[in-house]
Copies of this chain bind each other. A is one copy, B any other.
Amino acid sequence: MKRYEQFAAEIAELIRSGVLAPNEKVPSVRTASRTYQLSPSTVFQAYYLLESRGLIQARPRSGYFVCAQANRALAEPGMSARTAESTPVDVSELVFSVLGSIKDPDTVPLGSAFPSPDLFPLARLARSMGKSLQQLPAKTILADITTGNAQLRRQIALRYRVNGVMHSPDELVITNGALEALNLCMQVVTKPGDLVAIETPTFYAALQILERLQLTAVEIPVHPRDGIHVQALEDSLQRLPIKACWLMSSFHNPLGASISDEKKQQLYELLYRYQVPLIEDDVYAELYFGKTPPKPVKHFDRAGLVMHCSSFSKQLAPGYRIGWVSAGRYAEQIHRLKLMTTISPSVPAQCALADYLQQGGYDRHLRKLRETLEYQQQIMLAAIARYFPANTRVTRPHGGYFLWVELPEQVDSLQLFSMALAQGISIAPGPIFSATRRYRHCIRLNYGYPWSDAMEGVMATLGKLISSLL
């Protein structure tokens, strides 16, 4: 992110948070330039950008003012509703028919599960790959197939330690992305017919895992800010023989919700009391906008009951397919199951990541990525406020790259999906995030792609399509 974009993001945040009210004058170029120690041209560029985004406007001979609608406060969605006690899952066909219909690679990927690959240090990773492969002893390749690359395991363990999670290196199993980790975890703690507590809405891949393994979902409500409803989970644990719990503790997909540290500990104690293993999907953990990384539930785990799954796919190396699980007491079973099914993720990819992590550019990259995503979130929120109906509700997550948008009740998001796709735009329709096909009027939007005038047009188009459905 360039300096003027950073500055624009700061002003946007002041507007969003109401520090700069609608119709209020923004600092003059001279004042801003002095206060923020920026060149006047940088300030000009930033204001020009904010103007093109509809956040401020120039008034002749008076300077720039916050637009009347700039922080039009769209409401946030509330807690999701309770559902039937438990429900078999049959959503895969819908997920595939939705995702499989996005065939044109030039579709604007607002429905994508990944941020823009241009945000990642791919050239730097390629150099790490070249270097580490040239140095790799042939013998090590075969050894790494069974155990995972030792250097990579050490680097991952180090990051856990920095975040206050101590675990034995033996707990760590390197997998083909987080999705393989989640699949393996679920398989070792359940058998067909078992009940599994999940959030609603939830990541569709979790639903597909349940469906594939013939598990029955117990859907627990989630608040878009605070995450899973712990009391509702407790009620279900009391009444039902739940065998596992699957959830996203930070920057939940699709809601963006994050559980507070205090509530994470409560949650752990609750699961510990019932001895129900937790599969913690934490792939967005590094994409926090605050000052400190969120703690995982794994942080509170003293009995090896939490399987903490993550990967490098969403913040560093998409396509490398390297994930892992810190699997507590289930590590050995998971390791064996992996040896029986895929054996190992690519050894070269592991080596490249180990080398990159060792070189120390990772934290710098992450800081920049977080800044960019936070900025893009502001811009997209402003665009939604401008173009979507007034009674739209939208989340304001503190990390990740998804917004969850509740449209007016009449809007059918599957219909909207088809109409948008015909215009070259993908969105993620609500029903793919639910075992009971709820959230018909909701969509998930990805703000992980760089903003541009074209994107502005895309949001305007989406707004028009939504209006046409009212």
Query: A315 at interface (Cβ–Cβ under 8 A)?
Result: no
B129, B144, B212: the one contacting A129 at CB < 8 Å is: B129
Q: Tell me which of B120, B144, B352 contacts A138 (CB under 8 A).
A: B120
Residues of A within 8 A of B (CB-CB), count: 55
How far is A176 from B320 in the complex, measured between Cα atoms in Å?
12
Q: Is A318 in the interface zone, CB < 8 Å from B?
A: yes
CB proximity to B under 8 Å, residues A135-172: 136, 138-139, 141-145
Q: Assess whether A349 is interfacial by the CB under 8 Å rule.
A: yes
Q: Which of A348-369 contact B (CB under 8 A)?
A: 348-349, 352
**A319 proximity list for chain B (CB < 8 A):** 141-142, 144-145, 344, 346-348
Q: Determine how many copies of this chain the complex contains.
A: 2
Known: A105-B139, A319-B141. A208 touches B348 (CB 8 A): no
Comparing A11-19, A71-79, A335-343, A382-390, the segment that makes contact with chain B is A335-343
A99 vs chain B, min Cβ distance (A): 8
Is B117 in contact with A139, judged by CB distance below 8 angstroms? Answer: yes
Q: Which of A114, A179, A319, A336 has the most CB of B within 10 A?
A: A319
Q: Is the interface of A mostly helix, strand, loop or mixed?
A: helix
In chain B, what residue has the closest Cβ to A134? B126
Q: Select A342's contact among B96, B105, B321, B348, beta carbons within 8 Å.
A: B321
Please, how many angstroms separate the alpha-carbon atoms of A318 and B144 in the complex?
A: 10
A453 in the interface (beta carbon within 8 A)? no
Contact B342 A320 (CB under 8 A): no
Point out the residues of chain B lying under 8 angstroms from A205, CB to CB.
Answer: 340
A92-B340, A141-B122, A142-B117 known; A176 vs B134 contact (CB < 8 Å) = no
Whether A118 sits at the interface, judged by CB under 8 Å, is yes
- CB-contacts of A304-349 with B (<8 A): 318-322, 336-337, 339-349
Cα of A372 to Cα of B208 in the assembled complex, Å = 47
Contact check, B138 vs A117: say whether CB atoms are below 8 A apart.
yes
Output the residue of A114, A126, A344, A347 with the most chain B CB within 10 A: A126
Contact A176 B117 (CB under 8 A): no
Bound-state Cα–Cα, A142 to B126, Å: 16
A415: interface (CB < 8 Å): no
Q: How far is the CB of A365 from chain B (nearest CB, A)?
A: 15
> Given contacts A130-B133, A133-B129, A212-B340, is CB(A141)–CB(B318) below 8 Å?
yes
A343 in complex: contacting residue of B96, B143, B321, CB < 8 Å? B321
A-B contact pairs, 19 of them (CB 8 A): A96-B339, A114-B142, A117-B139, A117-B141, A122-B141, A125-B133, A129-B133, A130-B133, A141-B319, A142-B319, A176-B342, A176-B345, A177-B344, A179-B343, A180-B341, A205-B340, A208-B340, A319-B344, A348-B348
Other A-B contacts than A126-B134, A179-B343, A180-B341, 4 sampled, CB-CB below 8 A, are: A117-B138, A176-B342, A212-B337, A346-B348
